[in-house]
Amino acid sequence: MLKLKKNFSVLLIVLLALSFFSAAVSAENILGNGEFTEDIKTINNVTDNGGGNFATEDNWLFLENAGAGVGEIDSEMFKVSVFEGGSNTYSIQLLQAPVEIKKGYKYKVEFDAKASKPRELELKVGGTADRGWGSYVGGKGETGGFVAELDREMKSYEFEFVMIEDTDSKSRVEFQLGKNTGTIWLDNVSLTEVGEASADEIPEEQKKKWVYNKDFFFIFNVAVGGNMGGQVDTDFPKEMLVDYIKVYDQDGNLDWEDDFDGEEVNEDYWTYEVGNGHKQGIPGWGNNELQYYTEGENAHVEDSNLVITVREEQRSDQYGEYDYTSTRMITQDKVNMKYGRVEIRAKLPEGQGLWPAFWMLGSDITENPWPGSGEIDMMEFIAGQTDEVHGTVHGPNHYGGGGITQHYVLDEGDFTDGYHDFIFEWTPDEMRWYIDDDQEPYHVVERTDDNQAQRGGNPEEPEYTKNAVVNGEFNSSILDKMSSSPDNWYVWTGEGGAVSDYGVEDGEFKIDVSSLGNQTWAIQFAQYVDLDAGDYRLSFEARADAERDIIAMVQEDGGDWKVYGEAQPTLTSEMKKYIVDVSLAAADIPKLLFSLGNTDNGETTAVYIDNVKLEKLN
């Protein structure tokens, strides 16, 4: 029902109030300010507890993530004018939190909305980083939310869902307002508890749907900055050299190759994508990238190599100005692949802030937007970490930070010293990643009987030290090998986080943070611990050259990402001891984690950690 405005008669209001009195009593709105009679909040006047856990105090928070717009109350409605929609629906949000959503209960969501032009709006009720950003709605939107088709007429929308996950007292109700421009009006938003769901009302859990059964096309590019590249701190120009790409079918027959032996890039195979993603509706190419991709100016063939050159030079277009140029070349509508083997031989560029990649997107992406199209990252390289590459897949319910990923670290040397072979094998039921002449894949993703994508392979199970921290006094160097020795310390960076140096010095662990990245967890110092059920006390000592906060936690790895214990101390130049209470209801092998990324008061500085201990209390 659309909002009754003041020019309606008092009598009509009274009659309506009486007719709906019993329903209002039994179905109380869980949300505050649903009729937008009060001013909403901004990021500057809410409590941010990290990991997306905002306290909006029964009100709404207007949040610009990777988009731009103006949100305001207009005639007792919420009005947002979106100038840059960003690359995702969640690039701009109106959200309320925390909201308790109870397992086994049915909920009803209602709201009124219109837009200045036909467009979609997504509404998600879901978890924060603690719960893997999952949606409880089970909708068809980019983030698993309910999708409303808006037009210029104010209309009412409603849907119901059943909570099948464990009760979440920190849920968020999110209107996803990004990925498009224009003006949206919202009104009369309500979330009501219908009651306990019957057995036949409980849906199946969302699946990590397998979408890797169709044609994909290839992409070669070198990005600058962005979610993975992080802070730019290197000299230019930089070059990536590609010797060849060979594609074989499932029988081992050569299906297509480009050995770059001509005088120029073969445009029968390749198309240049130009700009910074604005034309495609994804500014910064969806990853906050800084470069402008040119139409062939940064790519040439030399000595039977494709050479992609990244330069520090200014370019501008109708959308803005850019300080770097590079190349992004694709085979869309020219060369596709479905199953077989890919071999790419290349020498990667060195330089903090560069982000080279060889990857694929589903050929139906025009009709089936990402992540529904699927993405296969055959190789991603964070150039500040020269001995490590990553392989990942993204698809429905496993995208972004939830992508199925694994990294590979060279035993000796790095990927910028010379050429290396990046090999990807793909069958109807499995994908495998290899480096050089390794006989065993470093990453496997498999298809399950119910058409899900999951991590596969048969890696050797590591041996863990029970109920204890390994090398917590830093009497020796850290092993820094997450795959083979997860119960010893390792450093991980992503989402734009970067470190310039780290290691054990004078009996302390020291890590120099050079870029905070986009998430609290963009820089991690961690190890896995094998813990029985029970209560524990985690203690550690820490300091920093410049005052900043860090997050210390013990957290489930995957699943609901449950946090078993957490603290967020502010470090000073004085070494101090900190305590974290930890409790597990059941045995688990969680991650003991220090998050050194974009915390509330994060700073790029050196952090020192020592005397990490985990004591079982019962």
Of 380, 425, 508, 566, which residue is the catalytic one?
A: 380
Q: Which residue type is seen at 363? A: S
Q: Which residue type is seen at 48? A: D
CA distance 172 to 264: 52
Handedness of CA 603, 605, 608, 612 (dihedral sign): positive
Of 375, 425, 495, 508, which residue is the catalytic one?
A: 375
DSSP annotation string for 498-563: EEEEEEEETTEEEEEEEEE-SSGGGEEEEEE-BB-SEEEEEEEEEEESS-EE-EEEEE-SSTT--E
| 55 closest CA partner among 9, 98, 21 | 98
Q: Is 380 a catalytic residue?
A: yes
* Residue with tokens 């009274």, as numbered in its chain: 14
Which stretches does DSSP call E strand in 327-387?
Answer: 328-330, 336-337, 340-347, 354-362, 375-380
CA distance 416 to 387: 8
Q: Is 264 a catalytic residue?
A: no
User: Which residues 6+ apart lie within 8 Å of 174 measured at CB?
Assistant: 90, 93, 94, 95, 123, 124, 125, 126, 143, 145
Left (φ > 0), alpha (ψ -120 to 50) or beta: where does 179 sit? left
Handedness of CA 469, 472, 477, 481 (dihedral sign): positive
Catalytic residues: 375, 380
